[in-house]
Amino acid sequence: MPEVEFVVQDRCVLGECPNWDAENNRLLWADILGQKIHALSLDTGARESWSFESEVGCFGLTDQGRWVIALKSDVILFNPATGVREKIAEVDGGNAMSRTNDGKIGPDGAFWVGTMDQNAEKQPVAGLFRVTGEGAVEHKVGGVKISNGLAWSPDGRFMYHSDSRGPWVNRWSFDAQSGEISKCARFLDLDDTLGRPDGAATDVEGCYWSAGVSAGNLNRFAPDGTLLMSIPLPVLNPTMPCFGGPDMKTIFVTSHSENYDAQKLKDHPDAGRVMALRVDVAGVPVTRFREA
C-alpha cells in the first residue's frame, strides 16, 4: 500500500476541493465551513489563506489566472493577487435548504457545481448545475441529497457524479463541446463499510478514485466498476482526492473534523488535515474555467 503523509498540520473543519495549481507548483484547498481557501507551495512550504463571507462549497482555476468560486449560492471570479471579486451567477439561491457543495471544471470549460441539503435529515432537494463564463446557469440533475463525486474520463466522453447519501455513483455520456449529458447509468452502489462516495478524481487509465468518507478509505475503481484497491487512510473522514505534482502521480486528500467533540479530536488528532500519497499512475489534469 502507498505510504500516506500529512502535508500540513493545520486542521480544517470541513476540508474539501483540493486543486492542483501546476503553474505555481502549489496545492489549493477549501475549508467549506471555515470559509477559507488555503494554499501550500511545494517549493518553499509557504502558506497563504483567503477568507470569504460565506461557505466555500467548491472552486477551480480559470484560463485568465483567476479562480471561480461557488460560495453558499453566489458564483464569483476571484483574483487571489488583488482580492478583487466579481459575481457572475447564482446557483439555487432560492432554495433555503441547500448550499453549494462539490464542484469541478468540466472538459467543456464550464463550472459544474453541486448542492446539498444542509439539514441533518437529508432530503432529495439538491442538484447539479452548469455555470458558463457568461454566467449562464443550467440545472442538469435533480433529486439528490448531497451532490458529490464529479470527475471525467480521460477522453472527456463520460462524467461521473455521486450522491453521498444515495449512496451511489452514476456515469453519464458527456459532450465536451456542448456540455450536454445523456444516457445516465448506475456505475456503483456503495455502503458505509467500503465508504460512502465523497469527492473523486480520475487517472489516465480511466479509473475512478473515490474518497470513502464514512470508512476512512480511498477507493480505486476500474472503468467497469470493479474495485481495484482500497487504501486505508489515517483519518476517519477523507473528503476528496486530487492528483498533482510535476508528474501528476501524487494524490492529495482532504478530510474533515466536522461535529467532532473534544474527546473525538483527542482520539483522532489528524482529522481535518491534508494528506498526500504517491501512486504508480498519473491523474487526469482538471480543465480550467473558460472566462467570457
Q: What is the CATH number of the domain that holds 129?
A: 2.120.10.30
In a domain, 290, yes or no: no
Cβ atoms of 154 and 206 within 8 Å: the answer is yes
- The alpha helices in the chain, defined as continuous H runs, are 262-267
Residue 252: the pLDDT is: 98
Cβ atoms of 255 and 77 within 8 Å: the answer is no
Burial class (CB in 10 A: 0-12, 13-18, 19+), 102: buried
In angstroms, what CA-CA distances link 64 with 8, 67, 228, 288, 292? 28, 9, 38, 9, 10
In a domain, 211, yes or no: yes
Residue 1: the pLDDT is: 87
In a domain, 289, yes or no: no
In a domain, 283, yes or no: no
Cβ atoms of 30 and 16 within 8 Å: the answer is yes
In a domain, 51, yes or no: yes
In angstroms, what CA-CA distances link 239 with 19, 102, 141, 233? 13, 10, 22, 11
Please give the residue range of the domain that contains residue 83: 4-278
In a domain, 285, yes or no: no
In a domain, 84, yes or no: yes
Give residue-wise pLDDT tens across range 82-103.
999 999 999 998 888 999 999 9
Distance between CA atoms of residues 48 and 40, nearest Å: 7
Which cell goes with 128? 447539479
pTM: 0.98
Which cell goes with 182? 445523456
Identify the CA nearest to 221 among candidates 238, 242, 236, 206: 206
Distance between CA atoms of residues 173 and 132, nearest Å: 19
Residue 37: the pLDDT is: 98
Cβ atoms of 209 and 194 within 8 Å: the answer is no
- Identify the DSSP state of 24: G
Which are the catalytic amino acids?
Answer: 198
Distance between CA atoms of residues 120 and 196, nearest Å: 16
The parts of the chain modelled with pLDDT lower than 70 are: none
Q: Given CA atoms 100, 104, 108, 109 in this order, what sign does their dihedral have? A: positive
- The tally of domains found in the chain comes to 1
Q: How far is CA 205 from the centre of its chain?
A: 20
Identify the CA nearest to 110 among candidates 286, 242, 244, 284: 286
Q: How far is CA 227 from the centre of its chain?
A: 21
Cis ω before 234 (30° cut-off from 0): no
Which cell goes with 252? 492529495
In a domain, 287, yes or no: no
Distance between CA atoms of residues 82 and 50, nearest Å: 11
